[in-house]
Structure 1
Amino acid sequence: MAKGVHAEEAQAFSVRLKQALEAAGVRPSPAVVASEFNLRYWGKSITAHTARAWLAGLSIPMQDKIRTLSEWLHVSPDELRFGPRPGPVLAMDSGAMERQLNLQDRQMLAQYLALPHAHRKTVQEVVAAMAVAAAHAQAAANRPGGQPAK
């Protein structure tokens, strides 16, 4: 394996893979990962040795395998491969964020950050579902007569 950037990327991928496994309630064992992965992947099976290399940060799977891992572990392929991308709130400087958040918001964020990873994922899914519902409601309100689409 190449040194430098590729080694750092492989190590970072390993951390993200272990976090995704933990969040999904899967033991990060090479044998378990290989077995569960092979149940879902329609290409050539992987060995426990391959899964060990992913978990140890020695290699990064090809994109088709990352897609299978992401579907299995319920994370986006890009986030699994490259890490989370900052959203609009994260892109704000701390002063702008401070002005946007009231005391209740800050308390809620502190409680969120104290949750285990699996619980954070649940909160993220609920917020995402609520954002979709709000967008649909807003779109319906903007239609002539304020009626939902049929």
Structure 2
Amino acid sequence: MKNDDEKSLFAKRLVLAMQSKGYEAKASILEREFNLNYSGKPMTLHGVRKWLIGEAIPSGDKLLALAKWLEIPPEELILNKNIQTAIQQRDARWKQELGYKDKEVFEAYTQLSSSHKKIIRDMIIALLDNK
């Protein structure tokens, strides 16, 4: 279950995304445009209103339809942009700091059985604890 803060933040991002595409952030507009762009069971006015006022977050397939209609990545609706930036920075750091040998080790790790992966994880954690 999503907490109220997540729902409220989603609603704010949805409103901003609609406005940036030139739409007024009204439930009637959202209902019409969403249903034109969604191939599943149509949403009701009451249902989309809950998205706009922060009472609900749509399921994954509906979120993808919203993102496609609004021409934004789905994570922009559900993730704080600061979180997105942090993820991008983390990924960039991984690409910069890992050498060829490290990447070979990670590739080998992915091929281990679950029990062997657990041993390696436990060993790494133990080494960090002894720093």
TM range (shorter): 0.5 to 0.7
Residue 48 of structure 1 pairs with residue 45 of structure 2: yes
Q: Distance in 1 between matches of 2:18 and 2:76?
A: 14
Three-state SS of the structure 2 residue aligned to 1:26 is coil
User: Which amino acid letter does the alignment assign opposite residue 27 of structure 2?
Assistant: P
| Unmatched tracts of structure 2, length 5 or more | 93-131
CA offset digits 1:86-131 (Å, max 9, x no partner): 144xx9xxxxxxxxxxxxxxxxxxxxxxxxxxxxxxxxxxxxxxxx
Residue 63 of structure 1 pairs with residue 60 of structure 2: yes
Q: How many pairs were matched up?
A: 86
Give the deviation of 1:82 after TM superposition.
Answer: 1.7
For 2:11, the equivalent position in structure 1 comes to 14
Q: Distance in 2 between matches of 1:83 and 1:67?
A: 17
Three-state SS of the structure 2 residue aligned to 1:18 is helix
Q: How does 1:1-150 map to 2 (within 5 A)?
A: 6-84=3-81, 85-86=84-85, 87-88=88-89
Q: Distance in 2 between matches of 1:40 and 1:75?
A: 14
Alignment TM-score, normalising by the size of structure 1: 0.54
CA offset digits 1:17-73 (Å, max 9, x no partner): 001001000111101100110001000000111111000000000010010000010
Q: Distance in 2 between matches of 1:83 and 1:41?
A: 25
Three-state SS of the structure 1 residue aligned to 2:25 is coil
Three-state SS of the structure 2 residue aligned to 1:17 is helix
- Structure 1 or 2, whichever has the larger Rg, is 2
Give the deviation of 1:83 after TM superposition.
Answer: 2.5
User: Which amino acid letter does the alignment assign opposite residue 20 of structure 2?
Assistant: A
For 1:126, the equivalent position in structure 2 comes to none
Alignment TM-score, normalising by the size of structure 2: 0.62
Percent identity for Structure 1 against Structure 2: 35
